[in-house]
Amino acid sequence: MLSYEEAQQHLEAVGQAHVLQFWSELSDEERQSFLQELSQLDLKGLKNHCEGAQRAAECPPESLDQHIEPVPPGSIGSVRKSDGKSLEEWENEGLLQISKSRVGVLLLAGGQGTRLGVQYPKGMYDVGLPSRKTLYQIQAERIQRVQQLAERRHGPECSIPWYIMTSEFTLAPTEKFFKENNYFGLKPSDVLMFEQRMIPAVSFDGKVILQGKGKIAMAPDGNGGLYQALVDNAVLEDMKKRGLEYLHVYCVDNILVKMADPVFIGFCVSRGADCGAKVVEKASPVEPVGVVCRVQGVTQVVEYSEIQPETAQLRGPGGELVFSAGNICNHFFTRAFLQDVAEKFKDQLKQHVALKKVPFVDSCGNQVKPTKPNGIKMEKFVFDVFPFSRNFVAFEVVREDEFSPLKNADGAPTDSPTTARNSLLNQHCRWAVAAGATLLDEHGKAVPPSSSVSVGDAPPAQCEISPLVSYFGEGLDQLLKERTLKTPFILDEKRASELQAQ
């Protein structure tokens, strides 16, 4: 651990002497804790970090319009546009790889849920389903179900390890939550949590922000911090030891995420891809999602803010958006590719600027909660490795089936607990009706088979199907065909057994 004199010397050398301005007011315990924190900081790299953040915030992103082109059709697969035979073959290939325990899933769960308005990790959030299941529980049960499907199709018992990347803020509560819930039925040895690095928030004049008199304002280094964290926590070694070859990486907040999706994995494996991304067709030219495209021949995600409105609105001969491949943070990587990134490319990842409201202490030691952005947080994004791929593929999926993120508190028009809950219940209504069931709504009226609603709209009935019963609508016809079901209706394992016995 650094001594006070060493810390002072290092900070003065990089123009950050103000960090110790309240030293005389700290207790012995606070001083020890602060020195511990400073010892873990990359003090040599602090000057570059602060100057880089200041420069980046002063320079708006360059417009890329003249350099971008859509991903070529040969590199894109699609659920909607593919024939049933291809989809079956990809699913079979994915289930085969899962059955050989070659597939793992990795969850990006370092965010704090600030926009959602909660003080705990997003995965612990209950969106108000009839079952009251949290995002973590839904995801754990999907892992169990897809393992069962792979075992039934191809034989031996298999496992899908679940790697969960947390941050300093989310690690302890996530660990506690999983222990209290007995890992939701998964083997504890198959659930591995690790922390991403934290980096200091910087003021607009290039100074480290003090959150308290003896504490620097720190933030996770973005979900692109994954690649450094894989090295820091020996995760790649663990994958190698387990014989994993493929990894499905996704964000915690998508309630419709298909864990270790065999169709996606099978598509990527059959194409010999080292890197893949699921995409959805953009809902409109102005939807605030990044677009998977090519820039000067190199695949990458271009943020919506980096494209001019007239380019975003370009349409093809059939009226479709030219730049329509919306990125949903749902990726496939081979372990070999991740090893390559860790060894050769992780230090070349682009830094992105996020302007944030960062609570701080002013020069008089008063705590201030800013009402407008006062700080710069530098982030890396998980998709910034796409340019290093030798064989990149995109896979278009149906939004209603696979993408409904939870980002905002209720009251927001999109991406709220209500829209996430509605998306899942709508999906389950569609599954039940497709399986031949008649659902009765709260007034006892039958839900019409063609009942169609937009993403996030209220469902025609309250019907929830446990992932332990069906991963993606499969196997429901033998349980529900020709049955009339009063809602609210929860089809869990117990109810499924009762229906089978009838």
CATH number at residue 258: 3.90.550.10
Any domain includes 484: yes
Residues facing 368 on adjacent strands:
360
Angstrom distance (rounded) from CA 377 to CA 216: 13
pLDDT single digits (tens) 6-34: 999 999 999 999 999 999 999 999 999 99
Angstrom distance (rounded) from CA 12 to CA 361: 20
State the pLDDT confidence band at 401, using cuts at 50, 70 and 90: very high
- Interstrand relation of 103-108 and 202-203 (parallel, antiparallel or unpaired): unpaired
CATH number of the domain enclosing 451: 2.10.10.100
Angstrom distance (rounded) from CA 411 to CA 417: 9
- Same-domain pairing of 327 and 458: no
Can you point out the beta strands (E) in 217-357? Answer: 218-220, 246-251, 275-281, 291-295, 298-302, 325-334, 352-356
- Same-domain pairing of 340 and 463: no
Give the N- to C-terminal CA distance of the chain in Å, as an integer: 68
Sign of CA dihedral 183, 189, 190, 196: positive
pLDDT of residue 454: 64
Any domain includes 18: no
* Longest CA pairwise span in the chain (Å): 78
Angstrom distance (rounded) from CA 303 to CA 292: 9
Q: Which domain holds residue 287?
A: 65-402
pLDDT of residue 51: 85
pLDDT single digits (tens) 268-316: 999 999 999 999 999 899 888 899 999 988 999 998 878 888 999 999 9
- Same-domain pairing of 94 and 234: yes
- Same-domain pairing of 120 and 216: yes
Angstrom distance (rounded) from CA 264 to CA 41: 39
- Same-domain pairing of 377 and 452: no
Any domain includes 296: yes
What percentage of the chain carries pLDDT values higher than 90? 75
Domain boundary among 402, 418, 435: 402
Any domain includes 5: no
Angstrom distance (rounded) from CA 259 to CA 486: 30
pLDDT at 448 over 90: no
Any domain includes 81: yes
Radius of gyration of the chain (CA): 24
3-state secondary structure of 155: coil
- Same-domain pairing of 382 and 435: no
CB crowding 180-204: b at 16 or more within 10 Å, else e: eeebbebeeebbbbbbbbbbbbbbe
Domain boundary among 402, 436, 468: 402
Helix (H) or strand (E) holding 490: strand 489-491
- Same-domain pairing of 368 and 479: no
pLDDT of residue 45: 82
Any domain includes 23: no
Any domain includes 171: yes
**CA neighbor of 53 nearest in space, from 168, 203, 161:** 203
**CA neighbor of 359 nearest in space, from 211, 220, 205:** 211
pLDDT single digits (tens) 208-261: 999 999 999 998 888 999 999 999 999 999 999 999 999 999 999 999 999 999
Any domain includes 85: yes
Helix (H) or strand (E) holding 440: strand 438-440
Domain boundary among 366, 386, 402: 402
pLDDT of residue 219: 85
Which distant-in-sequence residues (6+ apart) come within 8 Å of 478 by Cβ?
A: 500
- Same-domain pairing of 90 and 175: yes
44 close to 231: Cβ distance less than 8 angstroms: no
Residues facing 219 on adjacent strands:
199
- Same-domain pairing of 81 and 142: yes
Task: Please indicate, yes or no, whether the overall pTM of this predicted structure exceeds 0.85.
Answer: yes
SS3 content of the chain, % helix, strand, coil (to 5): 40, 20, 40
- Same-domain pairing of 187 and 76: yes
pLDDT of residue 56: 82
- Same-domain pairing of 346 and 471: no
- Interstrand relation of 103-108 and 162-166 (parallel, antiparallel or unpaired): parallel
- Same-domain pairing of 84 and 116: yes
pLDDT at 60 over 80: no
Domains held by the chain: number:
2
